[in-house]
């Protein structure tokens, strides 16, 4: 962490953020390219503000929740444009509800597939047992 030009603003290098959040510097540059982060430049170096650090943290959390980078960017834009926290929270809650519904549907779909897999696996086992018994009968004859 460095202080930016004698002010009390804490800044971060790309390497510091990568290490702190366990991501590659390439990931951070990609998030910058996608408009999620906007570091200042000092020569060829990126200088990340505390705001960038928080946005990176939120973006990574959003990815863990299954949101796309486009969805995360839309949420960031909502926060950038609107100071109405109620509207922001309502929109985020709506997106969380939709994400939950999607995941619950996926869970149901997976359960159906697992049941089908179990059904067919049991059929295969029964046929193998049946074939093994038939083979024993033929050998005994």
Specify which residues 43 forms β-bridges with.
Answer: none
d(CA 133, CA 31): 61
Domain boundaries, the chain: 1-67, 82-141
Give tens-digit pLDDT for 16-33.
Answer: 999 999 999 999 999 999
Whether CATH 1.10.1660.10 fits 1-67: yes
Under DSSP, is residue 80 helix (H, G, I), strand (E, B) or coil?
helix
Give tens-digit pLDDT for 38-73.
Answer: 999 999 999 999 999 999 999 999 999 999 999 999
Specify which residues 2 forms β-bridges with.
Answer: 11
Look at 133 and 94; give whichever has higher pLDDT: 94
Q: Phi and psi at residue 92, in whole multiples of 5°?
A: -65, -45
Percentage of the chain lying above the pLDDT 70 cut: 90
d(CA 111, CA 105): 10
């Amino acid at each position: 962490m460095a202080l930016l030009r004698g002010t009390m603003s804490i800044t971060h290098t790309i390497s510091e953020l990568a290490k702190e959040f366990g991501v590659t510097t390439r990931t951070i540059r990609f998030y910058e390219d996608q408009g999620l982060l906007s570091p200042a430049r000092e020569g060829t170096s990126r200088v990340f503000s505390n705001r960038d650090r928080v946005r990176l943290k939120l973006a990574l959390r959003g990815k863990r929740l299954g949101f796309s980078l486009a969805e995360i960017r839309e949420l960031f834009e909502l926060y950038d444009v609107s100071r109405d926290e109620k509207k922001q929270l309502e929109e985020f809650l709506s997106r969380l509800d939709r994400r939950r519904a999607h995941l619950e549907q996926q869970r149901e779909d997976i359960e159906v597939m697992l049941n089908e897999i179990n059904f067919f696996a049991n059929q295969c086992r029964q046929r193998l047992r049946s074939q093994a018994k038939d083979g024993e009968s033929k050998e005994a004859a």
